[in-house]
Amino acid sequence: MAERRGALPPELEETFEKYAEGARIMFEGARARTGQTSKEEIWAKNKARLYRYAPGAEKKYPVPILMIYALINKPYVLDLLPGNSLIEHLTGEGFDVYLLDWGVPGDEDEDLCFEDYVFDYIRPAVKRVLRTSRADEYTLFGYCMGGTIAAMHASLFPEKLKNLVLLTAPVDFAPENTGLTGLWTSENRLDPDLLVESFGNIPSEFIDHGMQMLKPVTNYVGTYATMWEYLLEDKPMETWAAMNKWVKDGTPFPGSAFKQWIRDFYQHNKLVKSEIELRGRRVDLSNIICPLLNIAGERDHICLLPQAEATMGLVSSEDKEFFALDAGHVGLMVGGDAKKGLWPKVNSWLAERSGAKKS
Amino acid sequence: MVQEARAHKEADPSEDGEERRYPDPYGLYRRWFEATGDSQAWTYGETVSPEELEELWRRWFETTTETFEGGVGTQNGLAGDMVPLWEEMAGELREEMLSEGDLPEDPIRHFVRWYRANSERWSEAADQHLRKEEVLESAGRFFEAYARSHKQLRRVSEEGLKNLRVPTRSDVARVAKLVVVVEDKVDRIEEAFEEFIHGDSEPATAAAVGSLEERMDRLEGKMDRILDALEKLGASGDGESPSRANGRGIFLEDSEEG
């Protein structure tokens, strides 16, 4: 066989090698070394881990940033690759960055719900952040569902919160604002109780396909058209590989939290009506008084623009800004556009509000 | 699928004597593999003329698109609705690829180029399709049926394993839950210690202890006065209820003290 292969013209052999590589990626998934910014684990609870990034680096700003991501997918999208990482960028600019990673829930975590995450995870994590950084105030940064959770935490515990940054954080779940997701999750079509009774935690594949079906042509075909283009034209494809790895590397949605997410948020839109109660305390977003930077993507099909924009009318902050980028849900976080759009915006906005040390 | 069933039938006489036919699930793939098998034989052959190569591509391409069309044509609802558009686009793709006079380009490159030109039209059609009421209803029913069958399967499996005295995932989860609870208790103790060490909990200073002592002394004094009053009342026997009399005294004293 090797002799026969040797008889092939080199261009053809190279093409076949690329075909083989493309086929391997399609069947096995892409490989990439993600999340490489140095970090230190400073606290752990159940599956969750609190990391401090670049712990040895000099901090220019005394107000630390605590990042929170969604309960589905893993948070390393915030630290995707060297040179393509928001966390690396912010630590490089002198910010003290922490990330609360929820970890991968097991069957035993089926009962975890939003109140547990807010009271038992974020609250103690905030204490650890303040203690570790010897700070009196902090910035809370929430991305996607992590933004919704961050907003709820901010409304219940506004003390010591210096700034709130929400990135593609859905708050208004009115049917006219939720697009296809709203149609699929409407009360007459989706019974979250049945799904949780059947599966316990909702499998990541289920969530993944649901997300991909929001744009099936782009996600199931376009992704691989891009891959072939990069492969055949010898373009660098590290970012594509890292993104492909991340998209397929989901986490199960804890059953109780899933029920709440579908019932209270999508089906009854309780957050904007201040009807969400966590451990008996009503979540009222008007309790948020700190400076707010609210960022959304104009081409986001997961958190539609009006879903995020609604926050502006609900908080009491005087210093608040809504910033819309011409990008999709993840495209605004990584890639060339992120470096020109999101990163400098977050950096400059926080720099003015994080009490830079005088040199 | 009907065509496939005709091409790859399995004999199964029905009651009326006619032969029943079933779809061959591998029919589509078989056709595709036949074509790729040819392509492999040609690839590793010693010589290939340009005409033969063009013929190879033609056969590969036609088989692939026919397979694709056949595959989607068998789908009802979701994919079935898209068939006219897919067929139209596949036809355009075939025409474009094979009408250039020269050897056709790499089919994947061609596909990528074609995708870039047509993805918007395709996406729009898919989006419209997914918003249709019948599609939404059908998807809802599918998920419900899938969830119910999974629930049933889970219940039956767990019962079977229980009868065999084999621990199930639920058993492991129950144990893990207990571990999480214990871990949580240890965390709380650790947190309490940390709060004490880091000063989040205020230590009892001498001043605070002194103030507490003063308050205790005052409380003790009040208790003594109450007891005295009770004793006096008991001795005089004036008939008024001791509790009412003393209660009034205490309230007066409290309100005076603010």
Among residues A166, A203, A46, A50, the alpha carbon closest in space to that of A112 is found at A46
Contact B122 A217 (CB under 8 A): yes
Task: Return d(Cα B212, Cα B92) in angstroms, integer.
Answer: 90
Element (H, E) at B160: helix B133-163
Nearest-CA distance from A347 to chain B in Å?
Answer: 31
Q: Which residue of A has its CA nearest to B174?
A: A108
**pLDDT above 50 for B12:** no
Q: Which residue has the higher pLDDT, B89 or A344?
A: A344
Task: Return d(Cα A49, Cα A100) in angstroms, integer.
Answer: 6
Element (H, E) at B33: helix B27-43
Contact A22 B108 (CB under 8 A): yes
- The pLDDT of residue B102 is 59
B193 in A contact zone (CB under 8 Å): no
Q: Which residue of B has its CA nearest to A43?
A: B187
Domain range annotation of chain B: 2-131, 132-166, 209-257
Contact B46 A7 (CB under 8 A): yes
Is A209 annotated as catalytic? no
Contact A222 B172 (CB under 8 A): no
The terminus-to-terminus CA distance of chain B in angstroms comes to 91
The beta-carbon neighbor of B115 closest among A184, A191, A221 is A221
Q: Give mean pLDDT, residues B72-90.
A: 63
Is A144 annotated as catalytic? yes
- B231 pLDDT band, cuts 50/70/90, is confident
Where on the phi/psi map is residue A234: left (φ > 0), alpha (ψ -120 to 50), or beta? left
The beta-carbon neighbor of B140 closest among A106, A190, A217 is A190
Question: Is A331:A296 a contact under the CB 8 Å cutoff?
Answer: no
- The pLDDT of residue B53 is 66
Task: Beginning with the edge strand found earlier in the chain, give each strand of the sheet holding A39-45 in spatial order.
Answer: A39-45, A48-53, A97-101, A65-68, A138-143, A161-167, A292-297, A320-325
Contact B119 A7 (CB under 8 A): no
**pLDDT above 70 for B73:** no
Cβ contacts of A216 on chain B, cutoff 8 Å: 126, 130
How many domains does chain A fold into? 1
Which DSSP string corresponds to B168-223? -HHHHHHHHHHHHHHHHHHHHHHHHHHHHHHTSSPP--HHHHHHHHHHHHHHHHHH
Cβ contacts of A110 on chain B, cutoff 8 Å: 173
Q: Which residue of A has its CA nearest to B114?
A: A225
Q: Name the residue range of residue A277's domain.
A: 33-203+252-353
- B114 pLDDT band, cuts 50/70/90, is confident
Q: Which residue among A144, A172, A264, A303 is the active-site one? A: A144
Strands A292-297 and A320-325, by their bridges, are: parallel
For residue A50, list its beta bridge partners: A43, A100
Task: Report ipTM (2 d.p.).
Answer: 0.81
- The pLDDT of residue B241 is 47
Q: Which residue has the higher pLDDT, A297 or B85?
A: A297
**pLDDT above 60 for B24:** no
Q: Measuring CA to CA, how many Å separate A85 from each of A80, A163, A333?
A: 5, 21, 8
Element (H, E) at B138: helix B133-163
The beta-carbon neighbor of B115 closest among A8, A194, A222 is A222
Secondary structure letter of residue B80 according to DSSP: G
| Helix locations, B99-132, DSSP H | 107-130
> What percent of chain B shows pLDDT beyond 90?
9
Nearest-CA distance from B176 to chain A in Å?
Answer: 6
One-letter amino acid identity for B58? R
The beta-carbon neighbor of A180 closest among B131, B144, B180 is B131
B46 in A contact zone (CB under 8 Å): yes
Among residues B37, B35, B45, B100, the alpha carbon closest in space to that of B68 is found at B35
> What percent of chain B shows pLDDT beyond 70?
53
The beta-carbon neighbor of B177 closest among A108, A218, A221 is A108
Q: Measuring CA to CA, how many Å separate A152 from each of A142, A177, B152?
A: 11, 20, 37
- The pLDDT of residue B107 is 80
The beta-carbon neighbor of A215 closest among B123, B172, B183 is B123
3-state DSSP of chain A: CHHHHHCCCHHHHHHHHHHHHHHHHHHHCCCCCCCCCCEEEEEEECCEEEEEECCCCCCCCCCCEEEECCCCCCHHHHHCECCECHHHHHHHCCCCEEEEECCCCCHHHCCCCHHHHHHHHHHHHHHHHHHHHCCCCEEEEEECHHHHHHHHHHHHCCCCEEEEEEECCCCCCCHHHCHHHHHHCCCCCCCHHHHHHHHCCECHHHHHHHHHCCCHHHHHHHHHHHHHHHHHCCCCCHHHHHHHHHHHCCCCECHHHHHHHHHHHHHCCCCCCCCCEECCEECCHHHCCCCEEEEEECCCCCCCHHHHHHHHHCCCCCCEEEEEECCCCCCCCCCHHHHHCHHHHHHHHHHHHCCCCCC
**Optimal mutation site among A43, A193, A198, interface B, most CBs of chain B within 10 A:** A198
Task: Return d(Cα A258, Cα B31) in angstroms, integer.
Answer: 44
- The pLDDT of residue B78 is 52
Q: Write the pLDDT tens digit of every residue in B122-154.
A: 899 899 989 999 889 988 898 899 999 999 998
Is A329 annotated as catalytic? yes
- The pLDDT of residue A282 is 97
Task: Return d(Cα B45, Cα B58) in angstroms, integer.
Answer: 18
Instruction: Say how many C-beta atoms besides its own lie within 10 A of residue B118's C-beta.
Output: 16
Q: Which residue of A has its CA nearest to B180?
A: A46
What would the two tokens of residue A78 be? 């915030």
- B65 pLDDT band, cuts 50/70/90, is low
- The pLDDT of residue B43 is 52
Distance from the Cα of residue A287 to its chain's centroid: 24
Q: Which residue of B has its CA nearest to A6?
A: B44
Contact B148 A198 (CB under 8 A): yes
- The pLDDT of residue B90 is 73
Contact A221 B180 (CB under 8 A): no
Q: Could you list the pLDDT tens digit for every one of the 359 residues in chain A?
A: 444 545 677 777 888 889 999 999 998 889 999 999 999 999 999 999 999 999 988 899 999 999 999 999 999 999 999 999 999 999 999 999 999 999 999 999 999 999 999 999 999 999 999 999 999 999 999 999 999 999 999 999 999 999 999 999 999 999 999 999 999 999 999 999 999 999 999 999 999 999 999 999 999 999 999 999 999 999 999 999 999 999 999 999 999 999 999 999 999 999 999 999 999 999 999 999 999 999 999 999 999 999 999 999 999 999 999 999 999 999 999 978 899 999 999 999 999 999 865 54
Cβ contacts of B198 on chain A, cutoff 8 Å: 131
Task: Return d(Cα A321, Cα A263) in angstroms, integer.
Answer: 30
Task: Return d(Cα A74, Cα A244) in angstroms, integer.
Answer: 13
Task: Return d(Cα A113, Cα A197) in angstroms, integer.
Answer: 15
Task: Return d(Cα A58, Cα A91) in angstroms, integer.
Answer: 9
Nearest-CA distance from A46 to chain B in Å?
Answer: 6
**pLDDT above 70 for B250:** no
Q: Give mean pLDDT, residues B216-237.
A: 83
